[in-house]
Structure 1
Amino acid sequence: MSKAFFVTGTDTEVGKTAISCALLHAARARGLSTAACKPVAAGCDERGHNEDALALQAAMSLDLPYEQVNPVALGPAIAPHIAAHQAGRQLRAASLAGYCRGVISVGADFVLIEGAGGWRVPLGPRETLADVAIALGTPVILVVAMRLGCISHALLTAEAIRADGLQLAGWVANQAGPTEMACHRENLDALRQRMPAPLLGEVPHLLPYGPDEAAQHIDISGLLL
């Protein structure tokens, strides 16, 4: 049976895709087959391809067509609900969850569903991306960018995930920029003491970034139990 997880972040530009690719590489290193889906992506090239979705497609072991990895591709790099409105489209959580189930049903051992932005990114007037995760019922992995404000952002997101009835399976501390935040260790310790889930790893800023190297900083053994 597939182990599937929804990957979210404390905000946009926190490194969700980089960490997702690292998680996929960590699973492949254990001999597991892997697949991933980014159900909606805003910010696509002239072919309708999104950089993050392409990275996921390259990192997973199964050979799935781009349209299955990223079924809803929107042009401008803006909030998905605004991009969809500009394109005359409607985003519905049930439809997006259905696309994700299609990837899960392929039967990979380890499957990641990557959100867009943070937990409450709107899909429309009433729904958010959290509704996709709720519809799937999958445990959640939270990517925390280690920068000023991360403690409150992480704890509030963890509270929201649990309030929505989902399990926070673990979190990853990601150094999303080249400059380490002031009192990095103290902030990390504060998060470890307060987060209601295990720390899966601390990923440093890697230049150039390589998912195989990033995977060496992550322990997924607790996710596979």
Structure 2
Amino acid sequence: MSVLVVTGTGTEVGKTVVTAAVAAAARAAGRSVAVLKPAQTGVAAGEPGDVAEVLRLAGGVTTAELARFPEPLAPGTAARRAGREPVGPDAIARAARELAASHDLVLVEGAGGLLVRLDEKGSTLADAAVLLGAPVLVVCQAGLGTLNATALTAEALRARGLDCAGVVIGSWPAVPDLAMRCNLADLPESAGAPLLGALPEGAGTLPPDDFRAVARGWLAPELHGTWDAARFEAAQRG
């Protein structure tokens, strides 16, 4: 896959750190990587945004940010309130294709969930994925409620003919509760796609060199890693 779209089941599920981990694992496998953030919201001019965090953690990646809006809102709303042009699916697809021409892997990190509005037309990240014909990686939470959110996201992907590349848990605690442990087996069924990784809670706080050294162990081979879902599930059962 030359372009992989990264979305979440909602906000604050760990998309940026997962994107950084996928980038780091791909780089460790000898791939050239670019990371595209179509619309960064809630960050003022001059402040580091999501692509800066990916670069800090993964290192050695090309980054691109198409627009930045200061208020922490959905991109379409933030663009309207800022009096600026929104970033639509055509612009996202065009930028991703340009990056794909010179990189082995392009990661397109969305804002919030799959169907967050990009513009007044109601366009979404899913529309950009359709234009690109790109698979979509879903980042989810570990605990109670994640099965429903993951199933809804997967259903929206299928309705648009999009391929769900898999699911990654954005933050896995040191002491998971019963729902979290059960979700390891249930998430693939909810998503209709494999569980491709689980990042430990606080992964983004690791020093960058340490993050890069261990990122492959959080991700399955499909994402250039060494993580095994069955082995991880068995370990969580004790």
Smaller-chain TM-score bracket: 0.7 to 0.9
Instruction: Tell me whether 1:54 sits opposite 2:55 in the alignment.
Output: no
AA of the residue aligned to 1:38:
K
Determine which structure has the larger helix proportion and give its number. Answer: 2
Instruction: Tell me whether 1:116 sits opposite 2:111 in the alignment.
Output: yes
TM-score w.r.t. the length of structure 2 is: 0.82
Q: Confirm or deny: 8 A CA contact 1:35 1:60 kept in the other structure.
A: no
**Out of 97, 103, 113, which is 2:93 matched to?**
97
CA distance in 2, matches of 1:41, 1:197: 28
Q: Confirm or deny: 8 A CA contact 1:5 1:140 kept in the other structure.
A: yes
Instruction: Deviation per CA, 1:150-196: give whole Å up to 9, x if none.
Output: 00000110111111111111111222677745421112211133431
Instruction: Tell me whether 1:133 sits opposite 2:132 in the alignment.
Output: no
Deviation at 1:63, TM superposition (A): 4.4
Partner of 1:28: 27
Q: For structure 1, which runs of at least 5 residues remain unmatched after alignment?
A: none
Flag the 1:185–1:122 CA change in 2: closer, same or farther, 3 A: same
TM-score w.r.t. the length of structure 1 is: 0.86
AA of the residue aligned to 1:219:
A
Q: CA RMSD in A?
A: 2.3
Q: Confirm or deny: 8 A CA contact 2:25 2:224 kept in the other structure.
A: no
Answer with 25-34 or 11-20: which moved more.
25-34
Residues 71-86 of structure 1: matches in 2 within 5 Å?
71-86=66-81
Instruction: Tell me whether 1:173 sits opposite 2:169 in the alignment.
Output: yes
**Out of 191, 198, 217, which is 1:195 matched to?**
191
AA of the residue aligned to 1:133:
A
CA distance in 1, matches of 2:134, 2:20: 18
Q: For structure 2, which runs of at least 5 residues remain unmatched after alignment?
A: 226-238
CA distance in 1, matches of 2:6, 2:65: 15
CA distance in 2, matches of 1:95, 1:191: 33
Query: Helix, strand or coil for the counterpart of 1:147?
Result: coil
AA of the residue aligned to 2:6:
V
Identity among equivalent positions (%) equals 35
Instruction: Deviation per CA, 1:57-104: give whole Å up to 9, x if none.
Output: 34253445xxxx101111122221111001112322212222222222
Aligned residues: 217
Flag the 1:44–1:222 CA change in 2: closer, same or farther, 3 A: closer
